[in-house]
Each structure stands twice: as C-alpha cells, then as structure tokens.
Amino acid sequence: MATHLRIHLGKERDLYEQPPVVPAAEQARVFAVPAWAEPHLARMLAPVNRVGFALQLGYFQISQRFYVATRYHAADVAFVARQLGVAPAEFAPARYADARYYAHQQLICDQLGIGRFDAAAAERLYQEALRLSSQHLKPAAVFDYLVLFLHEHRLELPTYFALANLITRALLAFEKRLLHRLQQHLQPGE
C-alpha cells in the first residue's frame, strides 16, 4: 500500500520540486542581493557558499520554498556566479549540501519574516487539511489550498512528499471519523 495518495501526476509533482525557471531578463531582479544580506555574503569565504546562498535567497523570495541544490538551474548558477565574481564551475552542489545550506535557510527565513515548516507548522497545516477534507474536495484541490494557506500565513513551503503525506493522513482521519459515525448510528444487522 502507498504511504500517501497520488495527488498530482508526475509532471506536476516534478514541477513543484523544481526551482522556478527565471527568465534571463528577470535574473538581475530575482537574484539581486538585498542590503541586509550583503554583510552575510561578505563573511562567506567559500565561493560555493556565496553562490548557494544567493541562489537560495532568490528562489525563496519568489516561491517561498527551498530546493535541493542539485536542482538549481545551470543558467541561474552561471548568472549568480558571474554576479559575485566567481567562476560558475566553482559551484558544486554536493559541497553546498552541508550545515551551511541549512544555516542559510534559517537566516533567509529570519530576515524575510517567514516561519520554518517545523512540527508546529505541520500540525497547523494538518488541522487545515482536516477542515478541508470535510468539504469533500479532491486531493489536488486540498494541496493547492494548503499551498495558498502557507503563503498567506507566511510559512515555508515543504516538499511535495511532506504535503502529500499530510493530506493523506488528514483524508484517512476524516474517513475514519465518518466510518465511526456510521457505526454509531447503524443497528446490528443493518
């Protein structure tokens, strides 16, 4: 048995997990380093950390979520690297996937006033998923509403798997409640 419902087809799921495609004409705006980030960037000695931080910040500002560094678009890596005076080849995603990667995420969330998707946020989202489940919406609609809920409440968007798992749990809990109510109102033999 699957651990979560199939909410979207593979293409839609893959799109959610990929960083947004930033047109060349928009790269300067999306990946501009705000004044608050400049001192942090200046203290980063490793080029991989400087480029990784700027990419995470740019992607997060337009999507409110973080992505696996191996999925960053090559054109964006090249643009940010040049912007920072670094050779694009110096950005190795595997070298960025250490403690710095997560520390940068925390810094970005703190500076932008976005709450992390932690246990408290997951519980809050689960309660919203339960509420939506009672409205008999399709799982894909619940997914879309939850993404909107996270944006409106200034919370980091989690991975597709985390959202799908949460929706599955909520729908199963709703189904269990319905079955329990039916059992309470049915007489033996009905």
pLDDT digits (tens, 9 = 90+) for 92-102: 998 887 779 99
- Which tokens hold the place of 149? 């809920």
CA dihedral 159, 61, 115, 108 (to 10 degrees): 100
| Contact between residue 37 and residue 57 where contact means Cβ atoms under 8 Å apart | yes
Let me know whether 104 and 127 are in one domain: no
The pLDDT assigned to 1 comes to: 37
| C-alpha to C-alpha distance for 113 and 108, rounded to whole angstroms | 8
CA distances from 88 to 47, 52, 58, 68 (A): 9, 11, 17, 18
Report the number of distinct structural domains present in the chain: 2
If DSSP codes are grouped into helix, strand and coil, which group holds residue 113? Answer: coil
Q: Does residue 50 sit within a domain?
A: yes
Let me know whether 105 and 29 are in one domain: yes
Helices (H) and strands (E) in the chain, counts: 10, 0
The pLDDT assigned to 99 comes to: 74
* Full domain range(s) for residue 55: 17-112
Per-residue pLDDT averaged across 49-59, rounded?
Answer: 97
126 contact partners, CB below 8 Å, separation of at least 6 = 166, 169, 170
Per-residue pLDDT averaged across 23-44, rounded?
Answer: 96
Dump pLDDT digits (tens) for 138-182.
888 999 999 999 999 999 999 998 999 999 898 888 778 777 676
Q: Looking at 85, 112, 139, which one is the last position of a domain?
A: 112
- Which tokens hold the place of 183? 């059992």
Let me know whether 105 and 21 are in one domain: yes
Let me know whether 123 and 99 are in one domain: no
Let me know whether 83 and 157 are in one domain: no
- Which tokens hold the place of 94? 């595997």
Let me know whether 126 and 107 are in one domain: no
Let me know whether 80 and 108 are in one domain: yes
| Contact between residue 118 and residue 158 where contact means Cβ atoms under 8 Å apart | no
Residues in the chain: 190
Torsions phi, psi of 45, nearest 5?
Answer: -85, -40
Query: Is the pLDDT confidence value at 127 over 90?
Result: yes
Residue 4, H or E segment: none
Query: Is the pLDDT confidence value at 8 over 80?
Result: no
Q: Does residue 12 sit within a domain?
A: no
Global pTM reads 0.85
